[in-house]
Structure 1
Amino acid sequence: MDRLLVLCRHGQSEWNKLNLFTGWKDPDLTDKGVAEAQAAGRRLKALGLGFDKAYTSALTRAQHTLKLILGELGQSDLETVKDQALNERDYGDLAGLNKDDARAKWGDEQVKIWRRSYDIPPPGGESLKDTAQRVLPYFDTHIMPDVMAGKRIIVAAHGNSLRALIMKLEGLTGEQIIARELATGVPIVYRFDETGAIVERTDLAA
């Protein structure tokens, strides 16, 4: 039985390019982001990987990334579930602000705390801990049961919603996962044994 889970952060978005806090705002991919997603699909295809079901967030950049990946795999009609439980961390009052402007307004140290602490949210937004409390119950209820039933699953989502999943899968602390950088458009492939333990993890970086 093939217990396969692939996690992929969306390709570069228009607001990534502009160095803006994005969160639940809904910009699309840049040309570079489109190319990253297509390249991710080709790398998966080169490994002979295909999927039985897909999950993504309610945000355009993740959905577009998934669509491009599945197009490269010839699986454009794959069953796909879209849910805001997989959305990016909500940056609250920071959303839409240039990161340099935010540092000028609140100071380098405060913005660093909001971005890189595990449990301190920005004003009106979510910490990574808050994000995990939203993402992980959904993962436990919907995604992991599919994996353990032998379905090959791909999840196209966001840097922080995927950090929450990786923290759980790899048994990391909040401090460890905050330090983990997730490149745009790079699939991470997990294979599991019958107990749900990871037996293989592969980053498909270019």
Structure 2
Amino acid sequence: MDRLLVLVRHGQSDWNLKNLFTGWKNPDLTEQGVAEAHKAGEQLRDLKLSFDVAFTSDLSRAQKTLDIILEELGQTGLETFKDQALNERDYGDITGMNKDEAREKFGEEQVHIWRRSYDIPPPGGESLKMTAERVLPYYKSEILPRVLAGSRTIVAAHGNSLRSLIMDLEDLSPEEILKRELGTGTPIIYRLDENGGVVSVQDLAD
């Protein structure tokens, strides 16, 4: 049985381009982001991959990325579940702030702590640890059972919600996952064993 799980971060958004903390806001994809989503679909098509079910967040940039990928695969209309559990990390009070301006206001070290520590959230927002605490239960209750049953599954989500998943899948430490960079619009292909362990992983950015 092929237990296939593909994770893909959304294509570049307008706020990515402007270097803003995005969180749960809903900026659109840039032209580059749309192109990245088309390329992701083409890569998956070239590998002759198709899907039985899709999951995405409640945010439009992830949903649009998924729609474009499925269009490239000729799978528009695929059964798709959308849930806030897969949303990007909530940046709270610094949402919408330019990252350079945030460094000027709060100091380089403080902003670095908010961005790169595992368990220290920005004011009013979430840490990566808090993000994982909503992503992983959803993964284990809704996504993983389908993968283990043989449903080829794609998840289109966000840098930090996917880091939470990757940390669990690859058994990484907080220090290791914080160093992991996820390219926009780049599929990562996992094949799992009957217990949900990773048999193989292929990052199409490589």
What is the TM-score with the length of structure 1 in the denominator?
A: 0.99
Partner of 1:168: 168
- Alignment match, 1:61: 61
Partner Cα separation in structure 1 for residue 78 and residue 33 of structure 2? 22
Q: Answer yes or no: is 1:180 the counterpart of 2:180.
A: yes
Matched residues in 1 for 2:193 and 2:176: separation?
A: 24
Structure 1 position 176, deviation (Å) = 0.9
- Unaligned regions of 5+ residues in structure 1, if any? none
What does residue 116 of structure 1 align with? 116
State the 1:192 CA deviation. Answer: 1.1
Provide the residue aligned with 1:40 in structure 2. Answer: 40
CA distance in 1, matches of 2:94, 2:187: 28
Total equivalences in the alignment: 206
Is 1:78 aligned to residue 78 of structure 2? yes
Query: 1:2: how far off?
Result: 1.1
Amino acid at match of 1:132: A
Q: Show structure 1 runs of 4+ deviating over 4 A.
A: none
Residue 43 of structure 2 is aligned to residue 52 of structure 1: no
Counterpart in the other structure of 1:106: 106
| Structure 2 residue identity aligned to 1:19 | N
Aligned partners of 1:193, 1:115: CA distance in 2, in Å? 33
After superposition, where does 1:9-20 map in structure 2 within 5 Å? 9-20=9-20
Once residues 3 and 153 of structure 1 are traced to their aligned partners in structure 2, the CA distance between those partners, rounded to angstroms, is: 8
Give TM-score, length-normalised by structure 2: 0.99
Aligned Cα RMSD in Å? 0.7
Residue 197 (structure 1) shift:
1.8
Q: CA deviation at 1:199?
A: 1.1
**CA shift at 1:195, angstroms?**
2.5
In structure 1, the residue matched to 2:159 is 159
Show the counterpart of 1:190: 190
3-state SS of 1:201 partner: strand
Rounded to whole Å, the distance in 2 between the matches of 1:153 and 1:72 is: 16
Over the matched positions of the two proteins, sequence identity in percent amounts to: 69
What is residue 126 of structure 1 aligned with on the other side?
126
Q: Which runs of 5+ in 2 are unaligned?
A: none
